[in-house]
Chain A
């Protein structure tokens, strides 16, 4: 018995109608406007400490403030970068000190949750959105970091327990080569703009627009004249945002810049900053005063961690403070993460000699040169 000739077209039309019903039609993207500029009342203060060690090798910290006000950190650590025992570790800053780190994502659990083989775990991104604490982290099944994809887990109890991870599908080629490193930017519709990057064949920054339910709504590129990675993004108003990118090109690099004027729908390359970038990660923050704070490694290595300030929406920058510097072979102070706490304190975490994660808390007054 053969089907009538109208059956196949009718089946197609039914599928089309269902797909049209499901296809998202979100509003034009817009950033959640940053709060109006205000002077921070905090006096000059600075304190720094190492987080408790989780494993011999640690890298790529990310910070978030929990609903109860505590500062939380996540980073990856194991016997060495890329080893099978690497996990994403989590610790919170209590009044006295950081809590002993505990793993919140492991290779085996990620494999179970995503129903796919996982060889290694990498960069985590922690972000608090109301009562929800997001964790995005990269994993790779084969090859190097260029073969990575992004996983997402959620906690609604301040990081005590986590949902099973789900994979974000962000690439048509075996879903490889979409990575995260820097925190998202809140959008006006309750969604998030998640800075990401691509490493397979070419290296470039990417922008994932996420719906409030976590679905990807759009993916666009951040153009640049040179290969770039790990965009760090700050929104200036509902439509404008700037991204500062790691220069992954050959030879001496500079901090690369991209800008959007339409809520992240399209991006354009801007001239690079006259600040060196030795192919290393950056962090950026808008301060209560409206100044922008940039953290990164100047010069040709990762042995100096410096802070710069901009008073004119990123057009010009001046050196503010040097946080760490050393000249020995093992000196690496890299992969900064910045967070503005609700009390106005600025938190900075960074990779300390690949042996651990170091944290500093300071005020804007300290950044401006006042001494505690």
Chain B
């Protein structure tokens, strides 16, 4: 069985652990490990939860995996997915997904199979990230490219992002908006 086949369920196990780590403080690691174990355990007809999620949602992008790994390994460090990066991801998704899902004659997803132009387009993005001292995102992008080079993905887009990452970005933006409204209200109350 190839590494590309195993990547999907393995990434889902990590995502399950990262998701569980948001549960009550103090028991973060055991809960995350428990969730990862649950993801691996055969549940129904020999299929694990990770296989079920892999079947329903396909393999997560390497970007999402790296964010999940960071959440698992360095839970106290600030996350990379702030409102700014979430906004950029959401904008890319809004431009990418409608034509990729069939609106219009051009399918941008096809570009990811022979991604030379796409790879060259990442250079200015990386330059901008370096200028903004976004070291974390540079590492994530580098990791995505290495994962593509290792053959875990046949299409570069799949290494870079996926619908769940976009959903996470949308949730991050909503949370940031709610938080700003709350802080605005409390400031207004003090007046």
Contacts and interface: CB of A to CB of B under 8 A. Distances in A.
Contacts of A251: none
Contacts of B113: 24, 216-219
A26 B114 contact: yes
A110 to B, nearest CB: 10
Contacts of A217: 113-114
Interface string B135-149: 110110111111011
B55 A21 contact: no
Interface stretch (B27-35, B151-159, B183-191): B151-159
Interface stretch (B16-24, B67-75, B94-102, B169-177): B94-102
Contact of A108 (B45, B97, B123, B141): B45
A174 B114 contact: no
A208 B122 CA distance: 25
Contact of B55 (A25, A141, A223): A141
Given A19-B145, A115-B1, A221 B107 contact: yes
Contact of B130 (A3, A9, A108, A220): A9
B56 A16 contact: no
Interface in A6-28: 7-9, 11-16, 18-26
B38 interface: no
B155 A216 contact: yes
Contacts, number: 168
Interface string B54-98: 111111000000000000000000000000000000000000110
B144 A174 contact: no
B97 A173 contact: yes
Interface string A104-144: 00001001111111110000000000000000000001100
B142 to A, nearest CB: 4
Interface in B99-120: 100-103, 105-107, 109-110, 112-116, 119
Contacts of A15: 141-146, 149
A216 B150 CA distance: 16
A12 B105 contact: no
Q: Which of under 10, 10 to 19, 20 to 34, or 35 or more describes the interface residues of A?
A: 35 or more
Contacts of B114: 23-26, 217-218
B119 A16 contact: yes
Nearest to B112: A172
The residue in A7, A164, A171 that gathers the most chain B C-beta atoms within 10 A of its C-beta is A171
Nearest to B105: A223
Interface in B2-40: 2, 5-6, 8-9
Contact of B122 (A16, A119, A174, A223): A16
Contacts of B59: 169, 175
A166 B56 contact: no
A21 B101 contact: no
A116 B55 contact: yes
Contacts of A18: 145-146, 149-150
A341 B100 CA distance: 38
A198 interface: yes
B109 A172 contact: yes
A176 B100 CA distance: 12
Contacts of A166: 2, 5
Contacts of B158: 169, 172
A220 B107 contact: yes
Given A115-B51, A141-B56, 14 more contacts: A8-B135, A11-B139, A12-B126, A15-B143, A15-B145, A111-B55, A116-B8, A116-B51, A116-B55, A117-B55, A142-B55, A175-B59, A218-B113, A219-B110
6 contacts: A8-B139, A12-B141, A169-B58, A172-B109, A176-B58, A202-B103
